[in-house]
Amino acid sequence: MMTKAAEIDIVSVSKIYGSTTAVHSISLKIPSGSYCCFLGPSGCGKTSTLRMIAGHETISSGDIRLGNTVVTDLPPARRGTAMMFQSYALFPHLDLVDNVAFSLKMKGVDKEERRAKALEMLRLMQMEPYANRKPAQLSGGQQQRVALARALITDPEALLLDEPLSALDPFLKIRMRAELKKLQKNLGITFVHVTHSQEEAMALADIIVIMSDGRIEQAASPREVFERPATAFVARFMGDHNVLTGRVISSADGVLTLQVPEGQTFTVAGEGRAEGSPIDIGIRTDRVRLSEPGEKTLGFNGVVSNVEYRGASVKITVMGAGSEDFTVIATDADYFEKPVAVGDAVSLSWRLEDAVLLGSAAA
């Protein structure tokens, strides 16, 4: 029913509050009809960015374009965006029909017409049976559906969602997540979703934008973020890679050799780094084996500091090579074949191709 979707183009946008800069001149293109997740720890600038797209926050410098329109100075309602708020922000004094019809009422649509349209929207969200209830009489998941209905009734080109799932319990979170994805597919409009959950972003997004300290660390597909994290921050934040930090000691044939402060040396595929320059590498946690390094593998010796049983896998934390929490995810079969306990000295190994070169944070 709604097919128009807009590309969102963010051009060197900054947000400055007094003396603190929340967003440092970020640039990003979100293709039309895609599901984009802004991911990062609290205070990283992801919500400020979303609110600037929505028009609820002024843009200190830079421009935002939506489709063919520069929306930088337009009020929220004239941008073609709709926002869904973290706490849903449903009007407590209005029933569901009036909540959903609110924007139509503001436009001066007459009562019969706006109520009919609101009911249709509620039907789409399967909330029609509750049409005459007040928001306080609904569960969290139901409130979210109403908030979605209210946002979508304006026929937006882009829907902006501010941590939409954070108020829900874990089971509902997963269910509503699937509903959001389905809705986005059906409507074909651009969704921009702010979250601090890696799992949520991986599950939903076409593009994940990882932010830290007001800057974009990486903007890429979930697969690329997972397989080739751009920076040490992304690798640590996504949690699927161990990060080792050292200095380059030699570079040959597309292979860099680095040395960590503790003295061990490792190699990683990559080039273009000067000898002596600082370097971070990431090693997939699920590819590390609890075995002696052989000819074709790399590794080091460390001491087990923690073991967590997770059913199908076991998470083993090891101290060594300058890392306090080098993580190994072993399958339960592998682990129980040769179990280790806290305090044991272990050898870890991985293959060259399981290590990735990480860009430096300043780059």
Task: Tell me if 208 sits within 8 A of 287, measured CB to CB.
Answer: no
Q: Which stretch binds another protein (CB under 8 A): 147-155, 191-199, 265-273, 321-329?
A: 147-155
- How far is the C-alpha of 224 from the C-alpha of 220, rounded, in Å? 6
Q: According to the binding rule CB under 8 A, does residue 77 interact with another protein? A: yes
| CA angle, residues 198, 204, 206, in degrees to nearest 5 | 105
Q: Could you say whether residue 83 binds another protein (CB under 8 A)?
A: yes
Nearby residues of 186 by Cβ (< 8 Å), 6 or more positions away: none
Which range binds another protein by CB under 8 A, 73-81, 169-177, 210-218, 345-353?
73-81
Tell the residue number behind the tokens 């890429």, with chain if given: 220
Identify residue 220 by its one-letter amino acid code: A
Cα–Cα dist 159/179, whole Å: 14
The least CB distance from residue 140 to another protein, in Å, is 16
The torsion angles phi and psi of 301, rounded to 5 degrees, stand at: -105, 140
What are the E-state strand segments in the chain?
8-17, 20-30, 35-39, 61-66, 69-70, 81-84, 158-162, 190-195, 207-212, 215-220, 241-252, 255-259, 265-269, 278-284, 297-309, 313-320, 323-331, 345-351, 355-358
Whether 334 and 316 have beta carbons less than 8 Å apart is answered as no
| Interatomic CA distance for residues 347 and 304, integer angstroms | 10
Choices 2-10, 18-26, 64-72, 148-156 (CB under 8 A): range interacting with another protein: 148-156
Please identify which residue in 30, 52, 66, 82 interacts with another protein, judged by CB under 8 A: 82
Return the residue of 86, 166, 301, 305 that touches another protein, per CB under 8 A: 86
* Residue 86 C-beta: closest distance to another protein, Å: 7
> What is the rounded distance in angstroms from the CA atom of residue 37 to the CA atom of residue 17?
24
276: left (phi over 0), alpha (psi -120 to 50) or beta: left
Interface characters, 10-49, with another protein (x: CB under 8 A): ----------------------------------------
Q: Name the segment binding another protein (CB under 8 A); options: 39-47, 80-88, 165-173, 232-240.
A: 80-88
Site size for another protein, by CB under 8 A?
24
In angstroms, how far is the first alpha carbon of the chain from the final one?
Answer: 44
- Report in angstroms how near the CB of residue 162 gets to another protein at its nearest: 9
Q: How far is the CB of 317 from another protein (least distance, A)?
A: 34
76 binds another protein (CB under 8 A): yes
Window 206 to 225, contacts with another protein (CB under 8 A): none
Instruction: Work out whether 150 is an interface residue with another protein (CB under 8 A).
Output: yes
Contacts with another protein in 153-182 (CB under 8 A)?
Answer: 154
Site string for another protein, 88-117 (x = CB under 8 A): -xxxxx--------xx-xxx----------
Asked if residue 64 binds another protein (CB under 8 A), the reply is no
Q: Which residues bind another protein (CB under 8 A)?
A: 54, 56, 75-78, 82-83, 85-87, 89-93, 102-103, 105-107, 150-151, 154
